[in-house]
Chain A
Amino acid sequence: MSLHRETGAEIGRGLAARRYSSVEVTRHFLERIERANPALNAFVTVTAERALADAKRADARIARGEGGPLTGVPVAHKDIFCTTGILTSCGSRMLANFVAPYDAAVVERLDAAGMVLLGKTNMDEFAMGSSNETSFYGPVKNPWDTARVPGGSSGGSAAAVASRIAPVATGTDTGGSIRQPGALTGLTGFKPTYGRVSRYGMIAFASSLDQAGVLAQSAEDAALVLGAMAGHDARDSTSVAAPVPDYAAGLEKPVKGLKIGIIREFFGAGLEAETGAAVRAAIEAFRGEGATVEELSLPNLPLSVPTYYVVAPAECSSNLSRFDGVRFGHRCKDPKDLLDLYRRSRGEGFGAEVKRRIMTGTYVLSAGYYDAYYLKAQKVRSLINEDFKRAFARVDVLMGPTAPTPAFAIGAKTDDPILMYLNDIYTIGANLAGLPAVSVPCGLSGGLPVGLQVIGPHFAEERLLAVAHAWQRATDWHRRMPGAYA
């Protein structure tokens, strides 16, 4: 059976046409997971029983004629989303015993759309990483080359979809954690506008930057899943009340006359040659189809990474204070007093990168340093935001590379945090400004996938999806998959 060669949307159509049942589809993916996961380590938890129960329910709905485009289609959730009764580890020893008592909004909504829960995917610990090497559960391997990283922090979701052991998966993106793994594994990785999707039940890393999104095989799949996930949630004060358009219906919108801006600062040093070439070629192809291309300077954008590495650690240092061994999560053995309880529970529960970021954040917020670091960074964030605003006054979308290099070897960058941080050099800006952005496969470098990043103004999801869809109708990069998993 080659159901795994179908996209999520295609499976949905197949189910609706009764070509197969959701139970059959689900079994197929569960078997693939069982075979492939030991080598890939994409899943932390596989929820076989739950998946089959979901599938049965979906089949019943379809039989009653009550199915939608996603009913019966399997999905994997990044282990950052709370799922009732299921381990929700966030890739950390701190939560290795945490069975969530509630569902995240994202989980509720995809459940309501009839999707089938295959399991929870591996991730960088507390979403902090760009290679999925910081997980308590061990690194995730890139299906294209298992000696290489899949990117992070949504590495498990990316590996799962890239190897087609799940048709589609959810992820979160704080500095590029959907788009960058999407680029490194040949997927369509979509991060919506900040506030478009509820953060309720999504374990917080950096609250003003985090957004939930999709790792998908195609713009169509991204459109369907995003459409089901998005929308106002009164439980998240930062969730936006604007109505959710029918993203799938908007895919075919023509992109003729599209005004593309390319970010001059993104094509400088650090961009690997073949990656740069593939991205430029893609942009040229758009020009060939009638788009105009203009080079723009966003002069403050090079400060994105340092800005991010002040703001994100600051927020996470506070967000992670709740992990103290008192009400849930890891507790050290025989704490001798309160201080010991805190220090050892947290010292044992958190890995090195998380501790580094907590300490960086604590430092930049501390008395005497707040103005020079945190306040300054928030001001630079304004400058970056203004750069984007000026750019979008001239162009419809910005294009550039998603990542500076294709997938690198496991262990290649773990000794140097800054080197690792620079993987997000092109993606972070969109998080700082809350902009929607997508990475679509546009070529190969040394046989490894390269991603083209498209950034839009606030709430331009439809436009981005239409651009991605147009690209995917004219090319087949997104249909390629690593041979071992075909």
Chain B
Amino acid sequence: MTLTRRDVENIAHLARLEITEAELPVYAGSLSAILAFVEQLSAAPTADDVLPMAHPLEGQVQPLREDRVTEIDRHEAYQANAPAVEAALYLVPKVIE
């Protein structure tokens, strides 16, 4: 699977990554190599009865939590890490709907 610059641009956009003009062909090359490498999987004998394995331990089921509030307001501590905060709101460039 060979990826074009366009392909890389599309993927980079989906992933919100800035890739420079100079970098585009480099990533196109390495991503194409990786995809070529994983092509081997297509030959694997996965007939219809082979189930995809999303979790490594079979038979594990989701535990359920009691519906109780145990968190307190710690927004000041958490917002110490925030790049831009005002009136306890996280700031981002305006989004127009």
Contact = CB atoms under 8 A, between A and B. Distances in A.
Contact of B53 (A325, A328, A355, A379): A379
A377 B18 CA distance: 28
Contacts of B92: 326, 338, 341
A372 B42 contact: yes
B81 A417 contact: no
Contact of B34 (A307, A376, A418): A418
Contacts of A434: 55-57
Given A303-B41, A346-B17, A380-B41, A359 B53 contact: no
A5 interface: no
Given A98-B81, A343-B18, A309 B12 contact: no
A382 B52 contact: yes
B32 to A, nearest CB: 11
Interface stretch (A119-127, A178-186, A234-242): A234-242
The bracket for how many chain A residues form the interface is 35 or more
B95 interface: yes
A355 B42 contact: no
Nearest to A378: B52
B44 A376 contact: yes
A303 B41 CA distance: 7
Interface residues of B, number: 49
B18 A383 contact: no
Nearest to B66: A234
B31 A360 contact: yes
A339 B90 CA distance: 16
A302 to B, nearest CB: 8
Given A355-B27, A377-B41, A360 B35 contact: yes
A213 B56 CA distance: 17
Interface in B1-55: 3, 8, 11-12, 14-19, 27, 30-31, 33-35, 37-42, 44-46, 50-55
A363 B2 CA distance: 12
A356 interface: yes
A254 interface: no
Interface centre among A300, A305, A359, A458, by most B CB within 10 Å?
A: A359
A194 B56 contact: yes
Contact of B42 (A335, A376, A378, A385): A376
Contacts of A350: 17
A321 B14 CA distance: 10
Interface in A382-409: 382-383, 385
Classify the interface of chain B: helix, strand, loop or mixed: loop
Interface string A297-334: 00010010111011000000100010011111101000
Classify the interface of chain A: helix, strand, loop or mixed: helix
A305 B40 CA distance: 10
Contacts of A364: 38
Given A238-B55, A341-B92, A377-B41, A101 B80 contact: yes
B37 A383 contact: no
A381 interface: yes
B85 to A, nearest CB: 9
A382 B16 contact: no
Nearest to A430: B56
Contacts of A479: none
A358 interface: yes
Contact of A240 (B11, B17, B60): B60
B11 to A, nearest CB: 5
Contact of B93 (A307, A335, A421, A432): A335
Interface centre among A325, A363, A378, A421, by most B CB within 10 Å?
A: A363
Given A326-B90, A328-B82, A342-B16, A208 B54 contact: yes
Nearest to A342: B16
24 contacts: A98-B81, A101-B81, A193-B57, A234-B65, A300-B44, A303-B40, A309-B37, A321-B16, A326-B83, A326-B90, A326-B92, A327-B82, A337-B93, A338-B93, A342-B16, A343-B17, A343-B18, A347-B18, A355-B27, A359-B8, A359-B11, A366-B14, A380-B46, A431-B56
Given A303-B44, A338-B93, A382-B53, 18 more contacts: A234-B63, A238-B60, A305-B37, A326-B83, A327-B78, A327-B81, A331-B83, A346-B15, A347-B17, A347-B19, A356-B30, A358-B17, A359-B11, A359-B17, A373-B38, A379-B51, A379-B53, A382-B51
The 7 closest A-B pairs by CB, nearest first: A434-B56, A347-B18, A378-B52, A331-B83, A342-B16, A379-B46, A343-B18
